Amino acid sequence: MAGCAATLEEAAVPASTTTVAPTTTVAPTTTVAPTTTVAPTTTVAPTTTVAPTTTVAPTTTVAPTTTVAPTTTVAPTTTVSESAGERNARESAASYLEYSAFSRSGLVEQLEYEGFTTAQAEYGTDAQNADWNEQAALSAASYLEYSAFSRSGLVEQLEYEGFTTAQAEYGTDAQNADWNEQAALSAASYLEYSAFSRSGLVEQLKYEGFTTAQAEYGATAVGL
């Protein structure tokens, strides 16, 4: 009986121990590999696409604020340095030049006549930045509209008005006047108010500054 039991044990042990192999099928637990598919979490790379935040460059387009330059056109406020008297003299001088031609000295004298001090009158005159040659030309044209002049006579008239000799000559020559015609007009004017011999009229015209040739042309033009 004991021998039978031993054989049973021996027979039984191998059978039970060899069937433990299924426990070696723990390999499925090695299928933990899916947990290694944590790689998707490494796709955190998109968070590295924070680069767009480096496109902050547009904020550097603050340059337009540097266009504050127009505020530098404050220059007009520099005229605040002029006194009330100077401002009035400047405005008065501008008004005179709108309606008549003046030499610099003539305009200064006119403003002084209006009661401005010499300093104020000079300030107002110089503030016009006038072209005195042009003013001389305008004045010469005005004289020739109402009276006849020889060249030298017109130059002297402009000098009397305060223009320099150079300005007076510029203004006179700018007229491109026909001085023979001016002599004839002057001769006619004299004969309207007085009687003259030919020689007497020629002498009168020469006295007015016409050349001998111009004076004779004028006398002949009026029939003497």
Mean pLDDT of all residues belonging to the chain: 77
SS (HEC) of 149-210: CCHHHHHHHHHHCCCCHHHHHHHHHCCCCCHHHHHHHHHHHHHHHCCCCHHHHHHHHHHCCC
- The domain locations on the chain are 83-130, 179-221
Cβ of 173: how many Cβ atoms within 10 Å? 15
Res 183 pLDDT > 60:
yes
The pTM of this model reads 0.63
What letter represents residue 141's amino acid? A
Residue 80 has what pLDDT?
60
Find the range with the poorest average confidence among 34-48, 62-76, 80-94. Answer: 34-48
pLDDT tens for 90-148 read 999 999 999 999 999 999 999 999 999 999 999 999 999 999 999 999 999 999 999 99
> Is pLDDT of 27 > 70?
no
Tens of pLDDT, residue by residue over 138-163, are 999 999 999 999 999 999 999 999 99
pLDDT, residue 155, reads 98
Confidence of residue 3 (pLDDT cuts 50, 70, 90): very low
CATH 3.30.450 assigned to domain 179-221? The reply is no
Q: Which of 13-17, 24-28, 62-66, 188-192 has the highest mean pLDDT?
A: 188-192
Tokens, residue 181 = 């015609």
